[in-house]
Structure 1
Amino acid sequence: MADDLELDTDDLKRRMDGAMSSLKGEFLTLRTGRAAATMVDPVMVDAYGAMTPINQIGTVNVPEPRMLTVNIWDKSLVGKAEKAIRESGLGINPVVDGTIIRLPIPELNEERRRELTKVAATYAENARIAIRNVRQDGMQQLKKLLADGMSEDDNKLWAEEVQEMTDAAIKGIDKVLEAKQAEIMQV
């Protein structure tokens, strides 16, 4: 009877780790003045009647720190890919050279850097909210287990463990945010 009155902390930990992974993925899409192949991940191209990620119609490379190239496999999609990049909101002006699209990454000005740090902070806050929601779910499960017969001492121990997991996850988010903001502000 006592064995089934335990909280599934592995599930809570997995969900908190998922929030951190999601945050890191969002951070990869932020442009920091240096080229990264993940910058074009959100770009969708109308290929063969379906919206397709650009990395599925060509090879994305980083030949130099401030240049991206996309080698489009099908020549008929070059124009559509160029248009998709222009309209993506990345602020990059593509240069077409045959089937290769060159994407020179412009230097970020101070105002744009500050805006990007605010966007990064927003992403981090959304991740913190997700972590707190997982914590709240864990606490709700503990209330139910207490009502089902879990001892108050065990319940308190589990609650402390959930709180420790939450604190560690939020500390991790703050650390990743600080590193990203430093990277963005680096000239």
Structure 2
Amino acid sequence: MINQIHSNSDERMKTCIQTFQNNLNNIRVGRASPLLLHNISIEYFGSKTNLRQVSNIIVEDSHTLRINVFDQSVTPLITKAILNAKLDLNPIVNGKDIIIKIPVLTEERRKNLIKVIRHDAENSRICIRNIRRDSNDKVKRLIKDKIISKDEEHSAQIKIQKITNEYIKEIESILLKKERELMKI
């Protein structure tokens, strides 16, 4: 029962970390990366379709992405989706391809992006702490229902806290790495 609570907490905390990492991957750092466009979807034959399923995303150079579209009829949809994604990117249609020039980040924009990622990091920490609280409440219910002893409760809460501390440290290291990446010119 306690092991199930621990594994459930661990899985939920991993999900928080993955969400945080995905959010950071969407923040551009002034150089071309296909990750910038990974969350962009278009309406294709009546269903949401990821951009990667209807095109190839190629890095031309450090400041240029080329989207090689499989079906030319979706080119306007892709262009519109990129503009609506609010990534400050301006797609240029060039025949069958879409070219995206990645503008160099100004220092002011870099500082604003750092504020955004710090806010995301804090939201991720809150998510992890909420999971810890839920897990501790489950353990307390077990002691209240006399399924476990006080010693088992104490050791379970210590283990939950260790898991929490590990994930909080992981958030900090991911945040620090992204801040360094953003401030690098």
Query: Do they superpose with TM above 0.5?
Result: yes
Q: Does 1:123 align with 2:120?
A: yes
Unaligned runs of 5+ residues in structure 2 are none
Question: Contact 1:7–1:158 at 8 Å: present in 2 too?
Answer: no
In structure 1, the partner of 2:75 is 78
2:158 maps to which of 157, 160, 164: 160
Task: Decide which of 7, 11, 14 is 2:8's aligned counterpart.
Answer: 11
Q: Is the 8 A contact 2:2 2:139 kept in 1?
A: no
What is the RMSD of the two structures over their aligned residues, measured on CA atoms? 1.6
Secondary structure of the 1:70 match is strand
Aligned length: 184
Q: 1:30 aligns with which of 23, 27, 30?
A: 27
Give SS of 1:107's match: coil
| Letter in structure 2 aligned against 1:117 | I
Q: Verify the 8 A CA contact 1:20 1:127 in the aligned structure 2.
A: yes
Unpaired segments of 5 or more residues in structure 1?
none
2:176 is paired with a residue whose SS is helix
TM-score by length of 1: 0.91
| TM-superposed deviation, 1:128 | 0.7
- The structure-2 alpha-carbon separation of the partners of 1:57 and 1:5, relative to structure 1 and needing over 3 Å to count, comes to closer
Q: 2:41 aligns with which of 11, 21, 44?
A: 44
Partner of 1:113: 110
CA–CA separation in structure 2 for the residues paired with 1:144 and 1:123: 32
* Aligned partner of residue 94 in structure 1, secondary structure: strand
What residue identity is the alignment partner of 1:104? K
Q: Please give the TM-score of this superposition, normalised by the length of structure 2.
A: 0.92
Alignment-mate amino acid for residue 20 of structure 1 = I
User: Deviation of residue 5 (structure 1)?
Assistant: 6.2
**Where in structure 1 do 4 or more consecutive aligned residues deviate above 6 Å?**
none
Task: Give identity over the alignment, percent.
Answer: 31
| Aligned partner letter, 1:165 | I
